[in-house]
Chains A and B, each alone.
Chain A
C-alpha cells in the first residue's frame, strides 16, 4: 500500500443541503481584547460523533458553550439544519449540554432530575415519570430512581446526567469533558458505552476533551484546536497518520518532528536539516527555506549499535528508558540532545532493557515521514 505524499485535503462532508450543525466565521472576543475563538468554521453532519480536542485554554469549551447557547459569538453564525441559533436561548435550542461535573440537582431524586426537562414542558406527572423511568432504565440505573445524587458514584451520576438530556430528545448533545471526574478504569468503560449509545440513538454528539487517546477512540471526526484556532479537522486515522502542522503532530503524541532549513532538493524529495537529525521526505521546496516534517514512532526502526553509514533518516541515539506498555514497548530516546520516540513490539522488551543507557541506531523510510505546514 503506497502512502500519499501529503495529507489529503480534509473538507467538510459532501452534503450541501444545509443540514447538520454549521459554524461559519465564528469569533468570540472577550473584554480586554482576549480572543478565545478565532475564525471557526465547522460542519457537523447529523448523527456524527465529533470531538473538539486541544489543551486547556484552546477555545474548545467556549465553542461548545456557544453552540449550546450559554455564550454568544462576537461575530459569525451558528446554525442547525438551516435554523440560525444566534441569540436563541439555551432552552429553545434543540441542543442540550451534559456539564463537566454533571450539574445534577442535589435536592432532587434521580427520577426527578431526569424528568426535569419534561416538567418544564408542562407534561403531567404520570407521563413524565414513565418517560424518565424508561430513560433511566436505558442507562442501566433502573433500581436507583429514588436515590439522591450524593448517594451515587461518579459513573452513576454521569449516566443520570445523560438520561436527563436524552429525555428531551435533542438534535445534538454537547458533552463538556464528560470523563474528567471519572477514574481511569471507568473512563475506558464509559468510552465504549457512550459510543454505543450514540450509535443506537443516531444523534449528533459533540464532545470536548483534552485527552487525545479518548478523541481517537470515540470520534467519527476530530477538531484539533489551539489558541482559539482550529488547527485541523479530520478522521482519527487522518489525524494520527497525517497531522497537518507541528502542533497537531506533537499534540497527537508519538510523533517525532524535525524542523529546520531545507538542505537539498532531490527530485520529489527534500532533505531537512534539523538540530538533531537530517530528514528526507517527499515534498517540494527551495534550499534554505524553513520546513518541517514528522515521522510516527511506530514506523521508526531501532537496532543496537551505532549507525554504519551517515545518511538522512538515520541517527545515533541513546536509549534512556524502555517503557513497557503491556502490548508494546515505547522507547524514550535522545538524539543529539533532542528527545526522540520509537515504538517496538512487546517481544523485544528484554532486548531493549539490556540496551538501556546504551547506543542504538534509529532509522525510518522516506515514505514513512510526511511534510508539515508551518
Chain B
C-alpha cells in the first residue's frame, strides 16, 4: 500500500467511523467504570453496619437527646422525660447573660473565620505552589503537626506569651511600653488562640482544592492574555471557593461550640455559649442546659445543609451520588439568599461590637501590610513573600510551644512568667514524675494510655470495615458519608452533654470504657475513614478479581490480597485513633465518670488553681510523645512506599529488557 492510497483509505475509515458512532453515541466523560468482584448487598451491609451503628449511638442519639431534653420539664433528678414544655427556651431567651454570650460567641466565630481565611489562604497557596512533592508533603505535615498535640496544651502555652508577666509584655517593657493587661484574659487573647487552633481547618481544604487545579488551565489562561491578577481572580479563586466554604463551615461551627479555650484563656471575663451551658449543667438544670446547647445544634444543622447543597464536596468524592443538576435557578436563588442572610447577620453582630470589628480590621490590615511590605522588599517574587509569611505562620503555630519548652526547664523558683528564672534545670520534670502531689496527673496519664490504646484498635477496625463498604456506591452511602462528616463538625460539648443526657435517660452511668470510649471513637473515625478512602482510591480491585479467578475464597482473598495492600492505611487509622483520643478533651469532658483522662485532669488543674511550671513539663512530654507517634507513622509508610517503588522499578526494567529484543518498529496507533 503506497502513500498515494492514504486519502482513499482515510475516507473509507471515516465512513466506517461515522456508522459506528451513530450506533454508539458519544459518551460523557463522567461515566466511571467500576471494577472488582461484585459484592452482595449483605456483604456491604455487614461491612458498613458496625461503624454506622456506633455513630448512631454515640453521635446521632446524643444530639437528638439534646433537642428532646430541651423540650422536657425540669425535675429534681434532672429532667422528666416525655413531659413537654417550652419553658427552658423561655428561660434562656429571657436571660440577658445568655443572650450576650450568644452574641459574643457568634461574633467570635465570624471573627475567627475571617481571620483564618486571611491567614490561612496565603499559607495554602504557598503550599500548593511548591514544585517538589516531597517538600510539599513535608511542609504540609509541619503545618498539620500541632493538631496532634493536646489541644489544651496549646491553649496553655499561650499564657506565658500573653500574660501580664509574659513574653510580649517583657519585650514591650524593655521598649518602654505597657504592660498590656488586655492581652491575656481578654477577647483578643481568646480570638488569637482560636485562630491558631482552627486555622488548620481552613488551610487543609483550600490546599487540597488549589492542588487539584489543573496547572495547564492556568497556563491556558496566561496564553489567552490573562495577567497574574486576572488568572487569580478568574481561575484560581473560583476554583478554590469550595475549599473556603468548607473551611468557613467547620471553623464557624467548632468555634461556636468551643468553651475550654475561652475558659482557660479568657478566664471569667469572657463568656461563651458553651460556658453558659456548663453553668446550667453544674446546677443540675439539665433541660435549660440542653436548650442552650440546641442553639449549637441549629448552627451545626445549618452548616451541614450548606455543605450538602453548595460546597461541591459530592463532586470530589466519587462514592457519593453526584448532586443533581436540576433546578439550577432555584439553587442559585437559594445560595444567594442564604449567603445574604449570613452576611447580614455577621455584619450586624460585628457592628454591634465595634471593638471586635476594630480588632478584625486591625488584624486584616496587619496581615495585608506585612504581605505588601514583603512583596516590595523581596522584589515582587510572590513565592518568596509567601515563604516569609509561612515562616511567620510557623512562629505563630510553634512559638508558644517552644516558649513553653523553654520555661519547663526553669529552676525551682520559676514561675509561669517570663523571663525564665534560674538556670537550666529539670526541677519541674522531677516534680512531675516523682512528687506525690502530682499523683493525680500520673494516674490520669495511665488512664489515657489505656483508653487511647482501645480507641486506637477500634478505630482501625471500624475504619477498615467502613472503607471496604465504601469501595462502591451503595444505597445509603451518601447518608452514611454525611453522618461521618457530621462527626467532624459536631462541637465536642454537644457530644459530651448529649451522652450524659442519654445515659441519664436510660438510667445508667457514664463510665470510661463505655461512654468515653464511645465518643472518642466517634471523633477519630472520620479521620481513619478518610485515610482508608484515600488508600482504597489508589487500590486496583482487579487484583482481587484475579485472586478469585484463581480459586481463592472471599475470606482468603481478603486476607492474602486486600489486607497486605491496605495495611498502611489501617496503621494510619490506628495512629489517628490513638493520638486523637490521647489529646481529646471536649467530648470526653462529662462522660468519663469518676476517673480522669489526662486532658480532663489538666483542665481541672488549669481552672482550679494557679498552675505551676510542671504543667509546662507535662506539655513538653505529651507533645514529644505525639510527635514521636507521627514520626513513627511517616517512617513506616515511607518505608512501605519505597519498597513498593523499588519493586515497580525492577518490574519496569524487566519489561524494558524484554521489549528491546522484539521488533523495533512501533506499530500505528500506540
Is there contact, CB below 8 Å, between A105 and B217? yes
Partner of A192, one of B10, B20, B223, B235: B10
Is there contact, CB below 8 Å, between A254 and B225? no
Chain A interface size, as a band, is 35 or more
24 contacts between A and B (CB under 8 A): A91-B227, A97-B219, A97-B223, A101-B216, A103-B214, A103-B220, A105-B217, A105-B221, A106-B214, A106-B217, A107-B239, A116-B234, A120-B221, A120-B225, A150-B30, A153-B28, A155-B26, A156-B26, A168-B224, A188-B14, A192-B10, A217-B6, A255-B665, A332-B663
Is there contact, CB below 8 Å, between A216 and B221? no
Partner of A152, one of B1, B29, B239, B665: B29
The answer to whether the Cβ of A212 comes within 8 Å of any Cβ in the partner chain is yes
Is there contact, CB below 8 Å, between A211 and B670? yes
Q: A residues within 8 A CB of B30? A: 150-151
The answer to whether the Cβ of A191 comes within 8 Å of any Cβ in the partner chain is yes
Is there contact, CB below 8 Å, between A117 and B666? no
Would you give the shortest CB distance from A320 to chain B, in whole angstroms? 10
Is there contact, CB below 8 Å, between B216 and A100? yes
**Interface of chain A residues 256 through 289 with chain B (CB within 8 A):** none
Q: A residues within 8 A CB of B26? A: 153, 155-156
Is there contact, CB below 8 Å, between B17 and A188? yes
Q: Within the assembled complex, what's the spacing in Å between the Cα atoms of A253 and B670?
A: 12
Q: A residues within 8 A CB of B9? A: 327
Residues on B close to A: CB < 8 A? 1-3, 6, 9-10, 12-14, 17-18, 20-21, 26-30, 214, 216-217, 219-227, 230, 234-235, 238-239, 662-670
Is there contact, CB below 8 Å, between A116 and B224? yes
Nearest neighbor of A55 in chain B, beta-carbon distance = B666
Q: B residues within 8 A CB of A69? A: 223
Q: Within the assembled complex, what's the spacing in Å between the Cα atoms of A69 and B224?
A: 12
The answer to whether the Cβ of A189 comes within 8 Å of any Cβ in the partner chain is yes
Q: B residues within 8 A CB of A119? A: 234
Partner of A250, one of B14, B20, B665: B665
Is there contact, CB below 8 Å, between A154 and B668? no
Q: Within the assembled complex, what's the spacing in Å between the Cα atoms of A247 and B668?
A: 16
Q: Within the assembled complex, what's the spacing in Å between the Cα atoms of A254 and B28?
A: 36
Cβ contacts A223-266/B at 8 Å (1 or 0 each):
00000000000001100110000000011111100000000000
Q: A90-B222, A153-B26, A191-B10 are in contact. Are A104 and B669 (CB under 8 A)?
A: no
The answer to whether the Cβ of A171 comes within 8 Å of any Cβ in the partner chain is no
Q: Within the assembled complex, what's the spacing in Å between the Cα atoms of A328 and B12?
A: 14
The answer to whether the Cβ of A77 comes within 8 Å of any Cβ in the partner chain is no
Would you give the shortest CB distance from A68 to chain B, in whole angstroms? 7
Cβ contacts A114-149/B at 8 Å (1 or 0 each):
001101110000000000000000000000000000
Q: Within the assembled complex, what's the spacing in Å between the Cα atoms of A212 and B6?
A: 13
Q: A residues within 8 A CB of B27? A: 153
Is there contact, CB below 8 Å, between A153 and B225? no
Q: Within the assembled complex, what's the spacing in Å between the Cα atoms of A327 and B8?
A: 12
Partner of B29, one of A153, A237, A298, A332: A153
What's the dominant secondary structure at chain A's contact region?
helix
Is there contact, CB below 8 Å, between B238 and A107? yes
Q: A68-B223, A157-B29, A211-B668 are in contact. Are A339 and B663 (CB under 8 A)?
A: yes
Would you give the shortest CB distance from B466 to chain A, in whole angstroms? 28
Q: B residues within 8 A CB of A154? A: 29
Q: A residues within 8 A CB of B2? A: 298
The answer to whether the Cβ of A63 comes within 8 Å of any Cβ in the partner chain is no
Q: B residues within 8 A CB of A236? A: 3
The answer to whether the Cβ of A185 comes within 8 Å of any Cβ in the partner chain is yes
Would you give the shortest CB distance from A39 to chain B, in whole angstroms? 25
Would you give the shortest CB distance from A262 to chain B, in whole angstroms? 23
Q: B residues within 8 A CB of A216? A: 3, 6
Is there contact, CB below 8 Å, between B230 and A120? yes
Q: A residues within 8 A CB of B221? A: 105, 116, 120
Task: Give the interface centre of A89, A105, A156, A241 by most chain B CB atoms within 10 Å.
Answer: A105
**Interface of chain A residues 61 through 76 with chain B (CB within 8 A):** 68-70
Q: Within the assembled complex, what's the spacing in Å between the Cα atoms of A313 and B484?
A: 74
Is there contact, CB below 8 Å, between A339 and B664? yes
Would you give the shortest CB distance from A196 to chain B, in whole angstroms? 11
Q: Within the assembled complex, what's the spacing in Å between the Cα atoms of A211 and B669?
A: 6
Is there contact, CB below 8 Å, between A217 and B10? yes
Q: B residues within 8 A CB of A212? A: 666, 668
Partner of B666, one of A120, A241, A251: A251
Cβ contacts A298-337/B at 8 Å (1 or 0 each):
1000000000000000000000000000011000100000
Nearest neighbor of A92 in chain B, beta-carbon distance = B225
Q: Within the assembled complex, what's the spacing in Å between the Cα atoms of A328 and B8?
A: 14
Task: Give the interface centre of B10, B14, B217, B235 by most chain A CB atoms within 10 Å.
Answer: B217
The answer to whether the Cβ of A341 comes within 8 Å of any Cβ in the partner chain is yes
Is there contact, CB below 8 Å, between B223 and A96? yes
**6 cross-chain pairs, A with B, having the tightest CB-CB distances, nearest first:** A120-B225, A213-B668, A117-B224, A103-B216, A103-B220, A91-B225
The answer to whether the Cβ of A184 comes within 8 Å of any Cβ in the partner chain is yes
Nearest neighbor of B218 in chain A, beta-carbon distance = A103
Is there contact, CB below 8 Å, between B17 and A121? no
Q: A106-B239, A153-B26, A211-B668 are in contact. Are A90 and B3 (CB under 8 A)?
A: no
Q: B residues within 8 A CB of A343? A: 1
Q: A residues within 8 A CB of B18? A: 189
Q: Within the assembled complex, what's the spacing in Å between the Cα atoms of A192 and B230?
A: 36
Is there contact, CB below 8 Å, between B3 and A101? no
Would you give the shortest CB distance from A192 to chain B, in whole angstroms? 6
Nearest neighbor of A187 in chain B, beta-carbon distance = B669
Q: A155-B26, A343-B1 are in contact. Are A250 and B664 (CB under 8 A)?
A: yes
Would you give the shortest CB distance from B13 to chain A, in whole angstroms? 5
19 additional contacts (CB under 8 A) given A237-B3, A298-B2: A70-B223, A91-B222, A101-B214, A105-B217, A116-B224, A117-B225, A120-B224, A120-B226, A150-B29, A152-B28, A153-B28, A153-B29, A164-B220, A164-B224, A211-B670, A213-B669, A240-B3, A328-B1, A341-B665
Would you give the shortest CB distance from A319 to chain B, in whole angstroms? 14
Q: A106-B239, A117-B225, A211-B668 are in contact. Are A189 and B14 (CB under 8 A)?
A: yes
Nearest neighbor of B21 in chain A, beta-carbon distance = A185
Nearest neighbor of A334 in chain B, beta-carbon distance = B663
Q: A residues within 8 A CB of B666? A: 55, 212, 251, 253
Q: Within the assembled complex, what's the spacing in Å between the Cα atoms of A213 and B6?
A: 10
Partner of A189, one of B17, B664, B668, B669: B17
Nearest neighbor of A190 in chain B, beta-carbon distance = B17
